[in-house]
Structure 1
Amino acid sequence: MPTPSLHLGRFAPSPTGPLHPGSLVAALGSWLMARRAGGRWLVRVEDLDPPREQPGAALAQLRTLAAFGLHGDGPVLWQGARGAAYAEALERLLDGGDAFVCHCSRAALAETAGIHRQCVPGARRPDPAIRLRVPAGSSIGFEDAIHGHVHQDVASTVGDFVLRRTDGLWAYQLAVVVDDAAQGITDVVRGADLLDSTPRQILLQQRLGLPTPRYAHLPLVLDDAGRKLSKSQAAFPVDDRAPMPALHLAWQVLGQDPGAVDTARSPDGFLAAALAAFDPARIPRAPTGLHAAMHNTTVAHGD
């Protein structure tokens, strides 16, 4: 496991399509947090779910990041090539009794709204999942740099959660914990849609004896229907041929002073000005509507 720097952050998009404004907010916010602390910033591709991936999306996302001046400080880590590391962690959990094979179907968990607390007696299936054992009383609290103290009773809210799916694919919760530790990530800065996942990840870190990073969850960008923009079919495009409007939009969503970057004419110029003016205390907790952010954004057009 690498020795962590003072601040080592990362951005980890899923290659299910092009980068959207919400993705850019997470990328820019995590980059600014790392650079402001004098730390390093990595890029990781979460290619864990091939059925949902779009061909060529991962490389397109990397090209978009480069066009926006967001370059990682090391090689890109591809989670699709990390199966051996996840299998080793899963074996440790199984051997220690912290994980178990589960034959329950979704239909069998309907009465508990999909929350698994105990296996259905006699249930058998040819493709069982593997879950983390979450006994009653398992609760996690942590301090989020933006949202303050967060507490979740993982047992009652989530229950025994999946580590390896019935189709044999690795669950996000296990993969992200293993890779954050393997890369020495000290600070996880990402969208607030993952705030509820953090207690599960901390619980897994504790079971595996891995360090817990610091966390900061950035505001989401919502479309007119109140949906997370990266999930919207009508998402405002992030155009790598004209990056300045999207950079200004992301800066606005992060609650920063628009005047600090209004003379920037290139991505590199924007990032330099943004880094000099960035104030994490200004980042809002509440999500931002796309059209409100666009209305309040001053966009400088140039090279």
Structure 2
Amino acid sequence: MNTKVIYRGRFAPSPTGDLHLGSLTTALGSYLEAKANNGSWLLRIEDLDYFRIQPASIANILHTLELYGLEWDEEVLYQSKRIDIYREYINDIIGANKAYYCSCNRKRIKELGGIYDGYCKEKKRSPENASIRFLKHEVNSFSDRLKGIIFFSKDLAQENFIIQRKDGLPSYNLAVVVDDIYQGITEVVRGSDLENMTSHQIALYNYFELRAIKYVHLPVINNQNGFKLSKQHKAKSIPLDNIQYNLLKALKLLGLPTQKEMIYNSPQEILTWSIANWSLAKIPKVNINVSDTN
């Protein structure tokens, strides 16, 4: 007898700044997908990179989500409290001879076009001042529930990626897979800027002999100059007032045809309507310029 899998989704912001319209749209998309599937929506704070973290942003992110009615279902998970767990996984991978030390710097990788070429694989590098790279078996495609089959370049499909940085911190790809397994996540809804990471993450699922979860990659929201809305490009923090207006704008970016009269509804009424009308088929498959929604 088949047992239906209970949907578990998550939103996992990095607190290097406050939420902006792009991150609100991603949060909203992941929330609606979870709730439309009668599932749970979890919140994870990706605060591993202590050089870039702004502690005040953690409280601001939580407060903003609450004001917008995006309430998470379980205790917030903080990656900074799980470093020893990530290192256990890394040590197991090293013990299985599925990783090696790499002394290549960012400049060299950049000169290669951003994808590592396996240079240190046979070099027997010292662990000092070295990153650790996973010996990846090729992952050349995956099925995205919004876009269909997505193929990776051969170099990316075969890339031996970092699972521990030179500063000793676990990498994003390692931590996110370990956490998704721990939290029982069944589907990840996130921005298309993370699409290429999926090849690396599926490789880790394969290594752990687990079926990879499902993925939905939402369109990236660009500013008027064509750059992704991000802290790097000085995206404005999402206002903590005029919540209905901002929710309706995010819904428009996600392809939901809202009514002008909804501006007078409460945030919870807007979310309830959105859950009932949510459909992946309505979401644009290409990146969006924020000015297109004005």
Same fold (TM over 0.5): yes
Cα deviation code 1:101-140 (max 9, x no counterpart): 22233345465334131218586573111011135xx133
Structure 1 pair 247/233, CA: closer, same or farther in 2 (3 Å)? Answer: same
Preserved contact between residue 229 and residue 235 of structure 2 (Cα < 8 Å): yes
- Residue in 1 aligned with 2:217? 217
Deviation at 1:231, TM superposition (A): 3.4
Q: Distance in 2 between matches of 1:36 and 1:216?
A: 14
| AA partner of residue 254 (structure 2) | L
Deviation at 1:287, TM superposition (A): 1.4
Cα deviation code 1:146-186 (max 9, x no counterpart): 11101225645562111110011111000000000000000
Q: Distance in 1 between matches of 2:42 and 2:289?
A: 28
Q: Distance in 2 between matches of 1:7 and 1:261?
A: 32
Preserved contact between residue 140 and residue 152 of structure 1 (Cα < 8 Å): yes
Q: Distance in 2 between matches of 1:122 and 1:44?
A: 36
| AA partner of residue 130 (structure 1) | I
Q: Distance in 2 between matches of 1:186 and 1:254?
A: 21
SS at 2:201's partner residue? helix
- Residue in 2 aligned with 1:76? 76
Instruction: Say whether 1:117 aligns with 2:118.
Output: yes
TM-score, length basis structure 2: 0.91
Deviation at 1:92, TM superposition (A): 1.8
Preserved contact between residue 139 and residue 155 of structure 1 (Cα < 8 Å): no
Preserved contact between residue 7 and residue 37 of structure 1 (Cα < 8 Å): yes
Structure 1 pair 111/30, CA: closer, same or farther in 2 (3 Å)? Answer: closer
Preserved contact between residue 45 and residue 78 of structure 1 (Cα < 8 Å): yes
Q: CA RMSD in A?
A: 2.2
Q: Distance in 2 between matches of 1:209 and 1:122?
A: 27
| AA partner of residue 117 (structure 1) | G
Q: Distance in 2 between matches of 1:241 and 1:14?
A: 23
Instruction: Say whether 1:275 aligns with 2:290.
Output: no
Q: Quote the sequence identity (%).
A: 36
Cα deviation code 1:202-236 (max 9, x no counterpart): 01111122331110011111101111102354424
Q: Distance in 2 between matches of 1:261 and 1:187?
A: 33
Structure 1 pair 123/270, CA: closer, same or farther in 2 (3 Å)? Answer: same
Cα deviation code 1:179-199 (max 9, x no counterpart): 000000001011111111111
Instruction: Say whether 1:49 aligns with 2:49.
Output: yes
Preserved contact between residue 134 and residue 155 of structure 1 (Cα < 8 Å): no
- Residue in 2 aligned with 1:287? 287
Q: Distance in 2 between matches of 1:184 and 1:78?
A: 16
Q: Distance in 2 between matches of 1:73 and 1:180?
A: 15
Preserved contact between residue 154 and residue 199 of structure 1 (Cα < 8 Å): no
For structure 1, the 5+ residue unaligned runs are 296-303
Instruction: Say whether 1:128 aligns with 2:130.
Output: yes
Instruction: Say whether 1:144 aligns with 2:144.
Output: yes
| AA partner of residue 128 (structure 1) | A
For structure 2, the 5+ residue unaligned runs are none
Greater Cα offset, 122-131 or 269-278:
122-131
SS at 2:133's partner residue? strand
Q: Distance in 2 between matches of 1:4 and 1:13?
A: 29
Instruction: Say whether 1:203 aligns with 2:203.
Output: yes
Instruction: Say whether 1:174 aligns with 2:174.
Output: yes
Instruction: Say whether 1:99 aligns with 2:99.
Output: yes
Preserved contact between residue 146 and residue 217 of structure 1 (Cα < 8 Å): yes
Q: Distance in 1 between matches of 2:207 and 2:158?
A: 16
| AA partner of residue 206 (structure 1) | N
Greater Cα offset, 162-171 or 272-281:
272-281
Q: Distance in 1 between matches of 2:261 and 2:145?
A: 24
- Residue in 1 aligned with 2:59? 59
Q: Distance in 1 between matches of 2:96 and 2:212?
A: 20
| AA partner of residue 224 (structure 2) | D
Structure 1 pair 261/184, CA: closer, same or farther in 2 (3 Å)? Answer: farther
TM-score, length basis structure 1: 0.89
